[in-house]
Amino acid sequence: MGNQCIFCQIIEKKIPANILHEDDLVVVFSDISPQAPTHLLIVPKVHVPGLNDIAEGHSALLAHVPLVAKAHARRLGLAGTGWRLVCNCGPDAGQTVPHLHFHLLGGGPLSGRMA
């Protein structure tokens, strides 16, 4: 893993986070700067800088992410009213941490602001 990466440090338990779920492929934790009443981050355990860096070998991981998101949306009561799953790619899109991650947003009406 990229040992200077903040998400890698969270995955390695070197930096504390409110981890809500962990399995072989991803870690899910609360965003420290939430942009919605519910704002979770779904972060792959493998260090991939962003969507531009995904490869064929990441297919299982990429299929797993929406399933994890759906499970958390249901658990949090968001499934009936709606939720958003966002992945920013690059600084112009708002990606501030160079480690592939997905934002699960919900808990009320969401503005046009994506994450």
pLDDT tens sequence across 31-53: 999 999 999 999 999 999 999 99
pLDDT tens for the chain, 115 residues long, are 446 899 999 999 999 999 999 999 999 999 999 999 999 999 999 999 999 999 999 999 999 999 999 999 999 999 999 999 999 999 999 999 999 999 999 999 998 655 4
Q: Among all residues, which ones are annotated catalytic?
A: 101
- Global confidence as pTM: 0.93
User: What pLDDT is recorded for position 2?
Assistant: 45
Helix, strand, coil percentages for the chain (3-state, nearest 5): 30, 20, 50
* Domains of the chain (ranges, CATH numbers): 6-106 (3.30.428.10)
What six digits make up the tokens of 110? 């969401």
DSSP class of residue 58 equals: G
Q: How many residues does the chain have?
A: 115
